[in-house]
Amino acid sequence: MKNFISILLLFCALNVLAQGEANFWFFGKNAGINFNSGNPIAISGSNLNTNEGCSSFSDKNGNLLFYSDGTTVWDKTNTPMPNGNGTLKGHPSSTQSAIIVPHPQKNNLYFIFTVGTEWQTDDGTPIPSSGLNSYVVDMTLNGSLGDISGSSKDLSDGFNTNWSEKVASVKGAECNTFWIISLVQNTYYSYKVDINGLNPTPVKSVVNYFSGDRRGYLKISPDGKKIASATFTQGTVNGNNVIGNGKLHLYSFNDVTGEVLNDGIEIISNAELDGAPYGIEFSPNSTKLYTSTFDGSYNKLIQFDLESANIAASKSLVNSQIGYRGALQLAPNGKIYATVPVSYFIGTKYLNVIKSPNEQVSESNFQLNALNLGTGYAMQGLPPFIASLLLPIEITSVENNNQIITNQKIKLCVGSNYTFNTEFIPGHPDYSWTHQNIEINNEINNTPTLTLTNIQTSDNGIYKLEVNLIDDCGFPIIYKGNFEVEVFYPPVISTTFIYDQCDIDDDSTDGITLFNLSTRIEEITQNDPDLEVFFFLTQADLDANNAITQIDSYTSASNPNLLVKLVNNRSGCFYNRENGIKRIPYQS
């Protein structure tokens, strides 16, 4: 008589282990975004209609103040300010036509810095660039909607007609200071704004590279230590595409003195290969630099690792698509958004996004057409902000090897425990954790650590962290971060499953035969397509995730007991055994 051999399948589991000033964006053809909820929401109503440059600014609580295309300033009701209706000397076809900087001490005053461009009227009359100019907005005027106060200041040092289309800003290392930086040819001009207002005397920094083309973005890293400049050279001559010799340079920036060091690294030097660089942005932690290029047909998105010993050689392609040149911009949620219009005059209804810009390309989570703009259209520009405003805090997951989860969605299992930590912040910061916008009022609040124990489905939702700190200058700094939790039940199935197999080989008495374990998978999973089954010989194999590979021809040995791990691929949850491992002898 044939003997029957039984395998006991034992189910078990492993331990499953900014600021509000940048919250409103207005750009392109009547496009707008509101970041006040943490996630971007497309909004309408903007009167902005620009192919390139734009700027907007809100108060520290995220309430819109005003926005501009470099020529007109609109208040929060989308109405032009009385003295700012077409009178500013920027231009909508200037790459960065304007940037807005608050007065460090007077809460009602704001500076608008504009850069013009060389252009032609409809009848072909050439109009030279107006260079770099500044204006003051006083929010106490015009019924507290704001208006331009006083006259403009020409900051072009006599080089108006040669001035570039670039302007950027960052908080200075000294207390109550901002730097505004622009470029003409091979000289960087840095202007300081402090408690006395704008200092009209610039810090001039001469570098080796002479930027003959005015176009392309200028950006500063959020930590204030690096500055990057794109020289865009692509164009059309007599109907033919000309790429030119566009470059991307990276320099060191001294946020104490305002000096741009002449230590430039030419990290894009071959526009024929990479395209001519136009958009630029740094990652929130200032370790990655992104640029968007255009070669006449394709828009390429490229990443550089600023921690690499050879930054130029760290070049990695993030995305390539048919489309025109476009800007990159870091958002308050820690993500970088990209616009890729169809052409100079035809926009796009979507923005692409780099969800995890601090990571290497393989982990950066690029998403095409991630944000639908509704009724608006993105063109080539996105609004630049003071780089140091955008300081999201890094939240890490202890159970996931301290992986950064800021602005990410994580999947947790019912019954598990999870601990979240924040990056170290010197000084005496105050921490505030909320769940679904309700403050977590227990002993873990006002600490850098959040621990969830015995997780249940009620723990679903968005967790936010706000860290408030007064720096050594008495300057309030707010760091913000959030993540979303989805909670899933582990798979449910009997902890004991017996597989009887007739001993059908040549020796029917030796207690050894072949088992086709794959034939039991449908029964184990109850035909749930989300469930995956793994078989293990021992607990040590399970702990090492060393599963049996030949499940269709497993040979029974002296130990008739197998361990089984049941995984939900949608959630990552394992079957959670409660009663330990049960063993039974062979049956004959």
In terms of residues, how long is the chain? 588
Per-residue pLDDT of the chain (588 residues; tens, 9 = 90+): 445 445 554 443 332 224 689 999 999 999 999 999 878 999 999 999 999 999 999 998 899 999 999 999 999 999 999 999 999 999 999 999 999 999 998 999 999 999 999 887 777 788 899 999 999 999 999 999 999 999 999 999 999 999 999 999 999 988 889 999 999 999 999 999 999 999 999 999 999 999 999 999 999 999 899 999 999 999 999 999 999 999 999 999 999 999 999 999 999 999 999 999 999 999 988 999 999 999 999 999 999 999 999 999 999 999 999 999 999 999 988 899 999 999 999 999 999 999 989 889 998 999 999 999 999 999 999 999 999 776 667 788 777 667 777 767 788 888 888 888 887 777 788 888 889 888 886 555 578 888 888 989 999 998 888 888 776 666 667 777 778 888 887 776 655 666 666 665 556 555 566 677 777 777 777 777 777 778 777 778 777 778 888 878 777 655 567 777 777 776 667 665 432 233 323 333
CA atoms within 13 A on the CB side of 532: 9
- What is the 3 state secondary structure string of 243-305? CCCCEEEEEEECCCCCCECCCCEEEECCHHHHCEEEEEEECCCCCEEEEEEECCCEEEEEEEE
Q: Looking at this protein, which amino acid is placed at residue 12?
A: C
Query: What is the token pair recorded at 56?
Result: 């907007």
β-pair partners for 433:
465
Q: Report whether 513 contacts 503 (CB < 8 A).
A: yes
Tokens representing residue 188 in the block: 């960087």
Confirm whether pTM is higher than 0.85.
no
Q: Which residues contact 519 (CB under 8 A, 6 or more apart)?
A: none
Q: Do the Cβ atoms of 243 and 296 come closer than 8 Å?
A: yes
- CATH superfamily, domain at 395-488: Immunoglobulins (2.60.40.10)
Alpha helix (H) ranges present in 43-174? none
Structural fold of domain 4-15+492-568:
Ubiquitin-like (UB roll) (3.10.20)
- How many other CB atoms are there within 10 angstroms of residue 95's CB atom? 27
CA angle 384, 338, 297 (to 5 degrees): 120
Find where tokens 């769940």 sit.
435
As a whole number of angstroms, the distance between CA 210 and CA 64 comes to: 38
Separation CA 530–CA 573 (nearest Å): 11
Contact 325, 271 (CB under 8 A): no
Task: Give me 157's structure tokens.
Answer: 């040092």
**Domain range 20-389, CATH class:** mainly beta
Q: What is the DSSP letter of 523?
A: H
Hey, where are the domains in the chain? 4-15+492-568, 20-389, 395-488
Residue 539's SS3 state is: helix
